[in-house]
Structure 1
């Protein structure tokens, strides 16, 4: 069997299918946060930006294929070669923007997880390193050659100074992988220290850890990058890069949206993701805590049963998801949730040897608002 001569059909299929699934998770996130939970935070605004950069990334991948990526360089003319180089530079810069936005979405979500000062400090450190890596990568892209025209017309400026090609290809990817690992590992200690069952801890970490798949693909991306450094067949290698980039970016988008879809899963299954269908009567001693930004919470030394929002699930919205499950199909906005309990108390009086006196005290209208 001869070597593959055309990667374009496969590249078009992979790019289109992965974009479809990534976009579906974005819209499902909007549905859950806006209509089911009515809790919209900073990480959700970032998800809007993710949707926009995902569209931009998809357009660039299609432009690569339009100008011949996936075909061997020998069958392309000079015009197509110039266009590929131009779009390679655009993708180089835009790819860094995509990673910067997606990583920030993860970090803003982590701010919902716990009020612990040390944990939040590590999250803000993640914001700082993410911004620093983004700036370094963009500066390397724009100043890879002096004069800049050497990027688009290589070999036309004899006195041009350029960063070594392998450094330019590998260093930004390695920096992004390290940042991915930092974000992936950051919440593990916090989740593992919570007072919940081992099964639930594993479920929570599995959802958060889905991002490991994107990290793995990002590591595999190094293979075509090394090939780009050594192969003269740039257009064909970029066809492979289109496939890897499409899978990597859309997996990361699915990973960042997955925790927000728990409310939808709860609605479809009619139960809690933790595997418990019990109501509040089986959750004595616990109170629901919201970690929504801008809402102050006083912590009491004697509230032994109090758990954070993360212990109820993955974020502050978990409290609201649980209430959503308990109230069926009706979910009221914060402040409009009313819980009524009926308590029967039997009292016996034997002071005067009289017969038992039964008295029922009924308490109605116990209301709670979040």
Structure 2
């Protein structure tokens, strides 16, 4: 409860800090319109730059474009769509108190914010699914880990789709939601609010799960504790999106704020916009490792990737680094955690080596760059 209380308090301080005032007639009317626009487009710009860097790393350096990259592009487009619809909403009066708006302005504000729900729900949702697919391509083919990630993907997708269906099915005809002059019927606002609370809770739980999941694997690597902490934090940036998701869920009370809906919805819009863009940024930053590796690569006659050797013998020849990315992959072969950040062992290759050697009954110790790992002593599926 203390954490939730702090989130509410922080959100109130944040809203107060970004709140703008404009003159409408003779009355000073508080408005969040400018804040909504600033947050939407500034964070969109930052997210777009991070995604562009991601594509440079994935396509230009690694020569790879996978399903998570495609989903991130869709996530970015949905986030931009959210900003476009919010811009139209602000034009009509989003962030301004209802007392200062005409009936037409109120109707159009509510209409465009309502239509914006499609983007605000799907954008962060697909971003989370994209991150789960990224992890699927990195983890060893261990049954429980794979099934767990697929369960996360299924839960996120189903919950988001059901939420959208409920949102757009609550009024017949749909225009009844924003135009009370149209004869029709709508469900109680509490239905959408309760659905939103459930969806927001699931999203926050997924953010936390996906943030902790990589750390559970990094912690089993034989490397310095500082590096483990760094990598765990790098892959766990989704906690920032989780915080925005929690505050957004709390702000869903705006749905039933009939007395000042146009102002209350602006507060909610700020947090769902932050959530969507923070998901984009958090899921893309871990993929920028190849750029760092390229910047810090030292000239050497020995190709990168040839330093791996057996503990009991001399250097073991391996393919040059670029061959790892250009070569054809088998159906079961996956990406490498080294593709994300320099110095992270190739989880799948190590796992495959362990399985092969165990079948032969041979005990083998493998050097993985940062130290020595007794692969027979390590539980299968816990090496990342």
- TM superposition score normalised by structure 2: 0.70
Instruction: Look up the match of 2:256.
Output: 229
CA distance in 2, matches of 1:4, 1:110: 48
Query: Residue by residue, what CA displacement relative to the aligned partner does 1:268-326 show, whole Å, maximum 9, x if unpaired?
Result: 3447xxxxxxx768653388897967354754224531769xx9xxxxxxxxxxxxxxx
Contact in 1 for aligned 2:71/2:130 (Cα 8 Å): yes
The CA distance in 2 between the partners of 1:161 and 1:147, in whole Å, is 12
Q: Give the greater-gyration-radius structure (CA).
A: 1
8 Å contact kept, 1:15–1:242: no
* Equivalent position to 1:185, from 184, 199, 212: 212
What is aligned with 1:120? Answer: 146
CA distance in 2, matches of 1:62, 1:128: 32
**How many Å apart are 1:202 and its aligned residue?**
1.0
Q: Which residue of structure 1 lines up, in the alignment, with residue 160 of structure 2?
A: 134
Q: Return the alpha-carbon distance in structure 2 between the equivalents of residues 78 and 293 of structure 1.
A: 62
Residues 187 and 92 (structure 1 numbering): CA distance in 2 closer, same or farther, change over 3 Å? same
Structure 2 CA distance for partners of 1:109 and 1:67, relative to 1, 3 Å:
same
Structure-2 residue corresponding to 1:204: 231
When residues 130 and 166 of structure 1 are mapped into structure 2, their CA distance, relative to the original with a 3 A threshold, is closer
2:244 pairs with one of 199, 217, 230:
217
Is the alpha carbon distance of 1:78 and 1:201 closer, same or farther for their aligned partners in structure 2, counting shifts above 3 Å?
A: same
Q: Check conservation: 1:147, 1:161, Cα contact below 8 A.
A: no
Distance 2:109 2:197 in 1: 20
In structure 2, the CA distance between the partners of 1:159 and 1:87, relative to structure 1 (3 Å rule), is closer
| Equivalent residue runs for 1:289-304 within 5 Å | 294-296=331-333, 298-299=352-353, 300-301=356-357, 302=362, 303-304=364-365
Any idea what SS the aligned residue of 1:232 has? helix
Q: CA deviation at 1:78?
A: 1.4
d(CA) in 1 for partners of 2:231 and 2:209?
Answer: 18
Distance in 1 separating the partners of 2:307 and 2:203: 45
Tell me what 1:87 maps to. 112
For residues 186 and 203 of structure 2, the distance between their equivalents in structure 1, rounded to whole angstroms, comes to 28
What RMSD, in angstroms, separates the aligned Cα atoms of the two structures? 3.2
CA contact (8 A) 1:150 1:157 kept: yes
Query: In structure 2, do the counterparts of structure 1 residues 295 and 73 end up closer, same or farther at CA, with 3 Å as the change threshold?
Result: same
Describe the shift of the 1:70–1:109 C-alpha distance in structure 2 as closer, same or farther (beyond 3 A).
same
Question: How far is 1:194 from its partner?
Answer: 2.7
The runs of 5 or more residues in structure 1 that have no matched partner are: 272-278, 312-370
- In the TM superposition, what are the counterparts of 1:299-318 in structure 2 within 5 Å? 299=353, 300-301=356-357, 302=362, 303-305=364-366
Pairing partner for 1:266 from 286, 289, 293: 293
Aligned to 1:12: 37
Please state how far the C-alpha of 1:231 moved relative to its aligned partner: 5.5
Instruction: Give the distance between the partners of 1:146 and 1:14, measured in 2 at CA.
Output: 33
Find the residue that maps to 2:37 and give its secondary structure: helix
Aligned partner of 1:62 in structure 2 is 87
Measured in 2, the distance between the counterparts of 1:80 and 1:295 equals 56
**In 2: Cα distance, 1:91 partner to 1:54 partner:** 10
How many residues end up aligned between the 2 structures? 303
Q: Which residue of structure 2 aligns with residue 368 of structure 1?
A: none
More displaced 10-residue stretch of structure 1: 24-33 or 177-186: 177-186
Query: In 1, distance between residues paired with 2:297 and 2:149?
Result: 34
3-state secondary structure, aligned to 1:113: coil
Closer/same/farther in 2, CA of residues 12 and 119 from structure 1, 3 Å limit:
same
* Partner secondary structure for residue 196 of structure 1: coil
Q: Give the alignment partner of residue 51 of structure 2, picking from 17, 22, 26.
A: 26
Q: Which residue of 1 aligns with 2:77?
A: 52
Q: Which is richer in helix? A: 2
Q: 1:13 to 1:31 in 2, by over 3 A?
A: same
CA separation of 1:253/1:56 partners in 2, compared to 1, >3 Å: closer, same or farther? same
User: Taking structure 1 as reference, are residues 113 and 236 closer, same or farther at Cα in structure 2, changes over 3 Å only?
Assistant: same
Residue 269 of structure 2 is aligned to residue 242 of structure 1? yes
**Structure 1 contact 184–212 (Cα < 8 Å) conserved:** yes
| CA distance in structure 2 between the partners assigned to 1:159 and 1:265 by the alignment | 57
Counterpart-to-counterpart distance in 2, 1:183 and 1:14:
25
